[in-house]
Amino acid sequence: MRKTAIGLAITFAVCTQVAFSQPAAPKKVTEVRIEGLERVSEQVARARIEIQPGSAFNQRAVARDIRRLYELGFFTNIVADVTAAPGGLVLTYQVEEKRVIESVKIVGNKKINERRIRGVLSLREGGPFIPEACDEERESILDYYETKGFANASVDIIADKIGPSRVRVTYVIDEGPKARIRSIHFVGNESLSQRKLRKLMKTKKARWFLGGRYEETKLEQDLAKLISEYGNYGHLEAVIDKTDMVYTDNGKGLNLTVYLDEGAEYHVDTLDINHNIVFDDDELLEVVEVQAGDIHDKGQVAKDAKALEDSYQASGYVDARVQPQVTLNRENKTTNVVYDLTEGDLKYIREIIITGNEITKDEIIRRHVVLLPGERYDGQARDASKRSIENTRYFDEVRLTLQDPLEEDSYFTDLLVDVEEGKTDSFNFGAGFSTQDGLGGFAELRLNNFDISNWPRFSGGGQRLALKLNVGSRRDQYSISFTDPEFLGYPFSFGFDLFNESYKVTGGADYQQDKKGVQLRLAKSLSPYVTLRTSWRYETTNISALPFYVNEELRQQRGKSTTISTRYALERNTINNYRDPSAGSKHTVSLELAGLIGGDNHFVKIEHDSTWYWSLSEEAKWVLSFRTREGWMTEFGGSRYTPLQDRLYAGGATTVRGYKNRDIGPSSREFVFFGSTFATGGDARLISNLEVKYKVTDMIRLYGFADAGGVWENGDFSLGDMKYSIGLGLGMDVPAMGPIRVDYGYPINPDGHQGSGRLHLISGLRF
């Protein structure tokens, strides 16, 4: 504005000098004109003018008029012009009104939010339009885009007149390609390696044509994480001096350099606990990991404070709080750590309040709550209750919180159980082809929160109903299963299974196997983690369509046979999440006895199944699991063999992937010395599965696995007969649908007939 005013003054001086240099200029003003007005009223402008028609011309008065017109604030330029006219002079004030910005438009921005661009602009809607400011506006936008990794951006500014002294300003942005990070380098790091620091960052350099996009917000978070990580290694005063970004390849590439000042390494000098009454120092110091003399681990100190809180809360002190106070001795490079405690009062559960359940009955949720009214609050029991409710898979969200009752009683608290109902039912399906089972498919309708007494909705009772159907060119299966976790209000589970299966065995001896029966099940929870199960099974099997000259292995099992068995199992389950486990374990050991209370088949079967899960990262993105299964069985009494349908098998999607179903272990030829082979199963089995899972997103999982398994008979056990496979898998947990998983297994040491790899599909649809 100052430059504009000076220019106006010079213009005025030149014009007036030219005008006043005319020797015959009249001295009397006959007319005063104001030209260039659009928005400003002429009456307002004339009210500021000193020289009027009929008055003598005075240059100083003209200068005063120009100054007063400027003071109105409506004009950017004013020029006075004097011309001769009959009888005197005509004085004309030529004004240029300030242009007002009617609107500001930003177009072409796809990657950067418009609100952020407007934040760097000085021209505003309703403000004056200053053409000279356009260059500064352009540079501000370009500078901002460069900080976001767009070094090739360009900006055009267009001012369109849309009315009297009104303009529309349009910023036309061409963002250009975003720079991709070519390298990330650190300067000044000694304690932590370049690899370690890069691994901490979400900002990554480009790999081929993937990734590497620069995002300022993500980089700022990464830098904060780096400083936090240095605190975990005793460098409590670490700082980032600066970051340099050098663009290459005409703005397409970006080299990022981070300059670090690690500072000194601090050790813990003293460790104290204040204001503890319930527990003495020695008991509490056993909980913490960072001790006097150790490197000061900032993150672990915070975890230790949380562990102290958890210890108090597990003992009923709900309101216990622990605040770590750290004092630095910069001269000795040591710290003094004091855990300041507020213990609070011992709390007891007054009432358990359940909310949010519109479908599921209160008692279904309440039976999963380990804490009972009147008991002392226990933080571990609370966590076990939450895990147990989540593992029902009835709810999308489960929240357990505490609320002090309105009555003033400092010793009681209410436990609030708030749930969000989820989709509990599922429809599973699959289809495929194999040389063993032929072309076929399966479907399963599973109602996981069924209520047989709630007509017509039939939901909310915590019961489980499953209808299964397998239809194929060789195998047909039908079954119905029902389970009531709390039968008739008693604290044990009851269920039954009805099944019918027809299977045409081919690929060697061709025969028909028909199987049908019923199974009754009972279970009792011995603790939040341990369950005792028992079942009784009645089954009839008919093996038919066998030629009389077939192998004795099959001929002796021709015709109908009945199996009546009782099974006992003990299970311990501490898995943290049934649907997507990342910690805990599940162990089952079982004993099955057939023939003690009738039936044609007499055998005993012992099986063990254990699975462990370990989280390899704090966010549980990487999870390692290991599963091992062992089994052994033998006939007894008058039986000369164990029935084919109850023998132990391996191979397929649930045992050793990459092999056909039941294709590992003993086999026999159709006619003793010649003919095709068929799987006969065995009386001993060993299966191991090692798997690593990577959680790409909340919906997508990647898997890598290694399987091993073997089946033997007649005590002919040898680890040299084990079959091995490796493979990869892709899993998706689709919202409103359910889990879908595809595995491809590659056999490492197959026999000649077992192929070179197989695809396995497991899918589910939730509704």
pLDDT tens sequence across 596-622: 998 999 999 999 999 999 999 877 889
Q: Is residue 676 part of a domain?
A: no
Residue finishing a domain among 646, 673, 701: 646
Cα–Cα dist 88/86, whole Å: 6
Q: Is residue 129 part of a domain?
A: yes
114 and 233, same domain (yes or no): no
499 and 588, same domain (yes or no): yes
Q: Is residue 657 part of a domain?
A: no
Q: Is residue 666 part of a domain?
A: no
pLDDT over 90 (residue 416): yes
Q: What pTM was estimated for this model as a whole?
A: 0.63
pLDDT over 80 (residue 658): yes
Selection from 675, 654, 668 nearest residue 713 by Cα:
668
232 and 113, same domain (yes or no): no
Amino acid at 164: P
pLDDT over 90 (residue 345): no
Domain total of the chain: 6
Two tokens, residue 658: 């990459």
132 and 227, same domain (yes or no): no
Expressed as residue numbers, the domain containing 309 is 267-342
pLDDT tens column, 732-744: 876 555 578 889 9
Residue finishing a domain among 70, 97, 124: 97
pLDDT over 50 (residue 157): yes
Two tokens, residue 729: 């898998």
- The residues facing 255 across adjacent strands are 183, 246
Please write down the HEC assignment for all residues of 11-56: HHHHHHHHHHCCCCCCCEEEEEEEECCCCCCHHHHHCCCCCCCCCE
Residue 536: give its domain's CATH number: 2.40.160.50
303 and 406, same domain (yes or no): no
Cα–Cα dist 169/673, whole Å: 93
Instruction: Answer left, alpha or beta for residue 439, where phi above 0 means left and psi between -120 and 50 means alpha.
Output: beta
545 and 532, same domain (yes or no): yes
pLDDT of residue 9: 46
pLDDT of residue 22: 45
Cα–Cα dist 557/647, whole Å: 13
Residues 6+ apart with CB under 8 A from 423: 736, 766, 767
Q: Is residue 760 part of a domain?
A: no
The DSSP line for 683-722 is SEEEEEEEEEEEE-SSSEEEEEEEEEEEEE-TT---GGG-
Report the Cα 174 to chain-centroid distance in Å: 34
86 and 108, same domain (yes or no): no
Residue 202: give its domain's CATH number: 3.10.20.310
Q: How far is the CA of 254 from the CAs of 109, 174, 201, 218, 259, in angstroms?
A: 21, 19, 16, 15, 16
pLDDT tens column, 19-32: 444 444 447 888 88
84 and 143, same domain (yes or no): no
pLDDT of residue 129: 79
Percent of the chain with pLDDT over 90: 37
Cα–Cα dist 119/148, whole Å: 14
Selection from 242, 184, 246 nearest residue 211 by Cα:
184
Q: Is residue 658 part of a domain?
A: no
Q: In 146-291, at which residue ranges do the beta strands (DSSP E only) sit?
A: 154-163, 166-174, 180-187, 239-248, 253-261, 267-274
pLDDT over 90 (residue 529): no
Amino acid at 513: Q
38 and 66, same domain (yes or no): yes
Confidence of residue 707 (pLDDT cuts 50, 70, 90): very high
For tokens 């162990």, the residue is: 587
640 and 505, same domain (yes or no): yes
Residue finishing a domain among 53, 80, 97: 97
640 and 501, same domain (yes or no): yes
Q: Is residue 604 part of a domain?
A: yes
3-class DSSP assignment, residue 655 = coil
How many C-beta atoms surround the C-beta of residue 388 within 10 A? 20
Rounded to 5°, angle at Cα 98 from 93 and 99: 135
pLDDT tens column, 284-325: 999 999 999 999 999 999 999 999 998 998 888 988 999 999
Q: How far is the CA of 88 from the CAs of 27, 49, 62, 84, 262, in angstroms?
A: 6, 19, 16, 6, 84
H or E element, residue 754: none
Mean pLDDT of all residues belonging to the chain: 85
Q: Please tell me which of 25-34, 334-343, 396-405, 576-585 the model is most confident about, judged by mean pLDDT.
A: 334-343
pLDDT, average across residues 532-546:
91
**Sheet containing 29-35, strands listed edge to edge, beginning at the edge strand earlier in sequence:** 29-35, 88-97, 75-85
Q: Is residue 701 part of a domain?
A: no
84 and 129, same domain (yes or no): no
Cα–Cα dist 333/216, whole Å: 34
Confidence of residue 34 (pLDDT cuts 50, 70, 90): confident
